[in-house]
Amino acid sequence: QKEVEQNSGPLSVPEGAIASLNCTYSDRGSQSFFWYRQYSGKSPELIMSIYSNGDKEDGRFTAQLNKASQYVSLLIRDSQPSDSATYLCAVKRQGAQKLVFGQGTRLTINP
């Protein structure tokens, strides 16, 4: 079982719709969860971090964490073509130095 798993996609969503990206993790000691966005040929950039169960909203982005189910998701409302990118889920165990990434989900927003 992979430490962090994501649907590799590609995920195609019409402009203006909600894009839903999912991530599961295997280490129950994980405490910190991050969503990175990576445009083609560019470096990953952080868009959301979440540490507690529940929802965290930042503009059009909402991260959802359920530690009991070992599940973290990212919702993108009012999707824009500029949201087209690969989204990487990353997980860190408390006190650990290692940030473990999923394989990424490629998202395409269709105008």
What residues line the site for other proteins (CB under 8 A)? 8, 31-32, 34, 36, 38, 42-46, 49, 51, 86, 88, 90, 92, 94, 97-101, 103-104, 106
Choice between 6 and 62, CB closer to other proteins: 6
Contacts of residue 39, defined as CB under 8 A and 6 or more positions apart, other chains included, come to 85, 86
Answer for the pair 86, 105: CB distance below 8 angstroms, yes or no. yes
Query: Nearest approach, Cβ of 79 to other proteins (angstroms)?
Result: 20
Query: Nearest approach, Cβ of 87 to other proteins (angstroms)?
Result: 10
HSE-CB for 15 with a 13 A CA cutoff:
5
